[in-house]
Every structure is written in structure tokens, then in C-alpha cells.
Amino acid sequence: GQNIDQPTEMTATEGAIVQINCTYQTSGFNGLFWYQQHAGEAPTFLSYNVLDGLEEKGRFSSFLSRSKGYSYLLLKELQMKDSASYLCAVSDSNYQLIWGAGTKLIIKP
């Protein structure tokens, strides 16, 4: 079956760095997405990785290792507004998104 695993919840301190991991097992691979979702809102796109390596975009970076079926989202200089759920999703061989359950990130002052 297809499976995406990510931690349910993480806590970090304002100004610090946090890494959210995602492991996946899917039928085919056409890229991995990270989305941010605030409570009561739709997800917003953060990053897309299809090749191995690190993609940096401002305070957010995303890493992919296809051989290990592994990705992480790195958030630097955390701000209170970063408190949200972070969803990992993999595009499978049919270009359908397989979603993880999301990681709720709590930022403390």
C-alpha cells in the first residue's frame, strides 16, 4: 500500500530551527510537496522536490532523498505565525497526491 509518515506534533521555540521529517512508500514517484495549513484554512504550497538534494527558499528549506524515501522540511528563525500544520504529500505514478496526516507545529515564545 501507499504510506506517508510524519510526526503528529512538534514543539519549538521562537527564533529556533525545527526539522519536520517525512518518509514515504508509494507506487511511483513524481515529486514531493510540502504544504502549510493554518487551522480552518486550505493548504498553501511551500515547496516541491523531485530531484535529490536541498531546495532553499527563504527561511524554509526542503530536502529529498529518493533512495531512502525520505524528506524533511527545515524551518529557520521560527516566528509565532509559523504555528500551523505541515503536510507532506507525494505525487504518485498517476500524479495523484498521497497525503501524510500532517505535523502540527507549536511555536512557544
Binding span for another protein by CB under 8 A among 13-21, 31-39, 63-71, 72-80: 31-39
Angle (nearest 5°) at CA 25 between 22 and 27? 135
Nearer to another protein, 69 or 102 (CB): 102
Gyration radius of the chain over CA positions: 13
Kindly state the smallest distance separating residue 101's Cβ from another protein, in Å. 5
Total length of the chain:
109
**Which residue in 50, 59, 68, 79 binds another protein (CB under 8 A)?**
50
- Residues 82, 64 contacting (CB under 8 angstroms): no
Binding span for another protein by CB under 8 A among 15-23, 51-59, 62-70, 91-99: 91-99
In 3D, which of 69, 89, 70, 86 has the Cα closest to residue 78?
86
Binding of another protein by 67 (CB under 8 A):
no
